[in-house]
């Protein structure tokens, strides 16, 4: 039986429709992967609890989405949410 890549990994969005040229590469500047890599490096260097940081960031991104009357969190919402929060903004600037 055919099984899509999305269903293999348990995702709801169509993974097959993302062209390889637009997929996130860890070293590419401006991508979600590079932002997450930078934040994780900063967090691990300061021994901050990662689950609470991820939860807080996603809550803020969800609030940003809700304020803009949208339905999905996209890569742009994470830096906007981090920049709008005073504590996370300071943490991000120290990296």
CB atoms within 10 A of CB 95: 12
Domain borders along the chain are: 49-95
pTM: 0.46
Query: HSE on the CB side for 38, CA within 13 Å?
Result: 17
Which two tokens mark 86? 């005073």
CATH superfamily of the 49-95 domain: Histone, subunit A (1.10.20.10)
Q: How many whole angstroms separate alpha carbon 62 and alpha carbon 16? A: 25
pLDDT given for residue 44 in this prediction: 60
The tens digit of pLDDT for each residue in 44-82 reads: 655 455 567 777 888 888 888 888 888 887 888 888 888
Q: How many whole angstroms separate alpha carbon 29 and alpha carbon 48? A: 24
- What's the helix, strand, coil split of the chain in %, to 5? 65, 0, 35
């Amino acid at each position: 039986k055919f099984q899509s890549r999305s269903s293999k990994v348990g995702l709801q969005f169509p993974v097959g429709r993302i062209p390889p040229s637009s997929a996130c590469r860890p070293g590419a500047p401006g991508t979600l992967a590079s932002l997450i890599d930078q934040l994780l490096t900063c967090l691990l260097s300061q021994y901050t609890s990662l689950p609470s940081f991820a939860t807080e960031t996603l809550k803020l991104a969800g609030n940003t989405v809700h304020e803009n009357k949208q339905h999905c969190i996209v890569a742009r919402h994470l830096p906007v949410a981090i920049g709008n929060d005073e504590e996370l903004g300071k943490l991000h600037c120290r990296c």
